């Protein structure tokens, strides 16, 4: 989307081939509908907490069908907006799947189209493990279109998608189990975030089972785990990874080198081993986030048609996980920072929010700053708590600009907020 529109505004003659709906994974079966569902799931906590502030709230009732219908309406609206944006930019649209037939040729619906440059932005697709009964389960794709909510759900996985959907199902009143084969949720994040998120999700009612993995699934959704234990569910959802969408596209025949997982191997300018063929987004399996993909598209447009070769900066990219509670981070985890910098100063805090002091909620906000001891630059900032993604965006600017701990300390906090803790942490953690 971004590459097509910007390239067209820079004077290029652009066509886009799309077999499905515009907006890719994010708009249709990713970030947008997922966050809408996450909003819905948070209302249960909000309604409970309202009583702590004097509100009398009737027994709430939830209508899954209405949520799905309203979500579908919003996605339809966005699809239309994206198509109009392309058309208004002068982009030609081909409805159909494209196959690469040469370094400068693409086939769409039996018609050959030639182009000086070809961009592959086909994304990725959810994968299921190769175990008996896997065909009886769903992935995140199908979770957005369930006809009804199950009573008991098993979510398998320990990454973004797994913890987000476990939180969504739990928040909507489903008896939810999260099973992960590893010892720690959210591998690749700061380890302390994964530990604390598991604890908070457990307090909210999710049964978090670590070092637990399904071995087979039988009709009726009886799940046998690798340790021999069994349990019955009404729905099993696998969130165990995604694979780049390159199979059968003809890329290898055109001279494009692929990684073992099918990802297109590209240089820092998103160029593949075939000089005329480029790739961006999840299909390259670099940093699989929507804003990163759009940044890659913008950089490629500038490189090819703007006269400004622009590499993509994948350093200090902020990200958030819309679990309950939210989690957000920018920069290096403590573990990665120790590998790269050696000696660190660590600052962290955990506390109940002012909002929760009015009731019996034991949920705690957690914040952490990772500081390079030598330069005193803040090289990592991490948070677990409400609206963490909204808050970390501002912190990300400071981290990106190389702010020091002293500059954080010199910034006056906004009181009373959770955000002020990022500029009031003074005591180094010793552990």
Distance of CA 339 to the CA centre of its chain: 25
Query: DSSP per residue over 152-205, as a string?
Result: EEEEE-SSHHHHHHHHHHHHTT-EEEEEESSSSSSBTB-HHHHHHHHHHHHHTT
Neighbours of 144 (CB within 10 A): 19
State the SS3 of 234-291: CEEEECCCEEECCCCCCCHHHCCCECCCCCECCCCCCECCCCCEEECHHHHCCCCCHH
Query: What is the rounded CA–CA span in Å between residue 380 and residue 378?
Result: 6
Q: Give Dmax (Cα) for the chain.
A: 68
Residue 164 to residues 40, 155, 156, 205, 241: CA-CA distances in angstroms?
A: 12, 10, 12, 14, 14
Give 328's strand partners: 320, 383
Q: Which of 283, 248, 270, 275 is nearest to 100 (CA)?
A: 248
Give 347's strand partners: 369
Pick the catalytic residue: 117, 356, 382, 415?
415
Q: Which of 70, 69, 91 is nearest to 22 (CA)?
A: 91
Note whether 340 and 307 are within 8 A (CB). no
Tell me if the bond preceding 416 is cis, omega within 30° of 0: yes
Residue 240 to residues 60, 159, 207, 229: CA-CA distances in angstroms?
A: 33, 8, 18, 20
Annotation says 415 is catalytic: yes
Beta strands in 96-140 (DSSP E): 98-102, 105-108, 111-114, 118-120, 124-126
Whose tokens are 């596209």? That residue is 249
Q: Which of 152, 87, 94, 98 is nearest to 120 (CA)?
A: 98
Quick check: helix, strand or coil at residue 212? coil
Query: What is the rounded CA–CA span in Å between residue 116 and residue 382?
Result: 44
Residues 284, 287, 293, 299, CA torsion sign: negative
Tokens of 258: 């692929």
List, by residue number, the catalytic residues: 415
């Amino acid at each position: 989307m971004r590459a097509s529109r910007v390239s067209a505004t820079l004077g290029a003659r652009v066509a886009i081939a799309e077999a499905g709906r515009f907006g890719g994974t994010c708009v249709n079966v990713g970030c947008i509908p997922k966050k809408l569902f996450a909003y819905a799931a948070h209302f249960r906590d909000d309604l409970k907490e309202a009583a702590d502030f004097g509100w009398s709230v009737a027994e709430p009732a939830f209508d899954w069908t209405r949520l799905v219908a309203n979500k579908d309406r919003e996605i339809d609206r966005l699809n239309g907006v994206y198509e109009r944006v392309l058309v208004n930019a002068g982009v030609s649209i081909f409805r159909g799947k494209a196959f690469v037939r040469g370094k400068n040729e693409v086939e769409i619906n039996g018609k050959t189209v030639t182009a000086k440059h070809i961009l592959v932005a086909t994304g990725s697709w959810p994968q299921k493990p190769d175990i008996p009964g896997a065909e009886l389960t769903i992935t995140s794709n199908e979770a957005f279109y369930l006809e009804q909510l199950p009573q008991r759900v098993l979510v398998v996985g320990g990454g973004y998608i797994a913890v987000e959907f476990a939180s969504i199902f739990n928040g909507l009143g489903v008896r939810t189990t999260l099973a992960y084969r590893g010892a720690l949720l959210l591998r690749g994040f700061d380890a302390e975030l994964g530990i604390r998120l598991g604890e908070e999700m457990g307090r909210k009612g999710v049964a978090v089972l670590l070092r637990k993995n399904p071995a087979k699934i039988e009709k009726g959704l009886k799940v046998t785990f690798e340790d021999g234990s069994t349990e019955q569910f009404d729905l099993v959802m696998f969130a165990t990874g995604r694979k780049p969408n390159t199979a059968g596209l003809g890329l290898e025949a055109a001279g494009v080198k692929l990684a073992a997982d099918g990802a297109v191997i590209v240089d820092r300018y998103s160029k593949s081993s075939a000089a005329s063929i480029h790739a961006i987004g999840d299909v390259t399996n670099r940093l699989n986030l929507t804003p990163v993909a759009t940044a890659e598209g913008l950089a490629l447009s500038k490189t090819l048609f703007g006269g400004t070769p622009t590499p993509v900066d994948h350093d200090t990219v902020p990200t958030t996980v819309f679990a309950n509670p939210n989690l957000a981070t920018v920069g290096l985890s403590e573990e990665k920072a120790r590998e790269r910098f050696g000696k660190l100063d660590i600052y962290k805090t955990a506390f109940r929010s002012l909002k929760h002091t009015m009731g019996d909620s034991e949920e705690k906000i957690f914040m952490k700053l990772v500081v390079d001891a030598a330069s005193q630059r803040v090289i990592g900032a991490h948070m677990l708590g409400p609206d963490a993604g909204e808050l970390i965006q501002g912190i990300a600017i400071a981290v990106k600009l190389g702010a020091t701990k002293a500059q954080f300390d010199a910034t006056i906090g906004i009181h009373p907020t959770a955000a002020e803790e990022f500029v009031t942490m003074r005591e180094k953690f010793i552990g």
